[in-house]
Amino acid sequence: MLNELMIYLQNFFLDYGSLGVFLGSFIEEIIAPIPSTLVILGSSFFIMQGVPISLESVFSLILYVSIPAALGLTLGSLFLYAIGYFIGKPFITRWGKYMGFSWDDVEKTQRKFAESKNDEIALFSLRALPVVPSIAISTFCGIIRYKIKNYIFITFLGSIVRASILGFLGWQFGRFYESIADTIAIYEDIVIIGLIIAIVAYIIYKKFGNKTNTE
């Protein structure tokens, strides 16, 4: 199935160019079965194949791959942001007490993000790193109801950096882009597992640590 997807993506990028990069990145962002990073790695390989490195070619990579990919990733992430925004509060209000936190804790996080510029830098950095799963960032920002204008702006800028890194890798090591995509996917899975472990540990601490303190 993956090989068939590769053949389809190759024809898609060659036929539609930057529009194909935009649409592929948008779809990739909201459909889990498509491996993360695959579109950008593949598109840069097919579009930039055989082009020597120069300032002009780097500019072409940014113009024809990075920017369209960043637009697709940003718009696609709004779907996940919306899920966190509209489902987060009812879910936490209903089930948060069983996990050791409440909507008041979320509102404290909201105020912290609103008051600190360091959090914006952190969000940009997380967006720019290829190994950090986008779904976690987008959903979290939706849950804490991060300012939508700031979210879109930072997500777009971070995604340009992310797409440029992946685009360069796909351009220079394109014949191995499937292996690169698989490797990055493994690290993304590790990050997700780490986040799940951290959340579970936090819930256990809140649930049993508080009891110990009260005793």
pLDDT at 81: 93
pLDDT at 48: 84
CA distance 39 to 6: 9
pLDDT at 182: 60
pLDDT at 160: 94
pLDDT at 72: 92
pLDDT at 177: 54
Stretches where the chain sits below pLDDT 50 are 1, 211-214
Asked whether the beta carbons of 18 and 65 are under 8 A apart, the reply is yes
- For 113, half-sphere exposure in the C-beta direction (CA atoms, 13 angstrom radius) is 21
pLDDT at 132: 79
Using CB atoms within 10 A of its CB, is residue 197 exposed (0-12), middle (13-18) or buried (19+)? Answer: exposed
Angle at the Cα of 104 from the Cα atoms of 101 and 106, rounded to 5 degrees = 75
For residue 41, what are its two tokens?
């790695």
pLDDT at 143: 87
Which domain, by its residues, includes 101? 2-214
Closest CA to 130 of 18, 30, 38, 48: 38
Structural domains counted in the chain? 1
Using CB atoms within 10 A of its CB, is residue 203 exposed (0-12), middle (13-18) or buried (19+)? Answer: middle
Q: Tell me the whole-structure pTM to 2 decimals.
A: 0.75
Dihedral angle computed from the Cα positions of residues 89, 153, 123 and 131, in that order, rounded to the nearest 10 degrees:
110
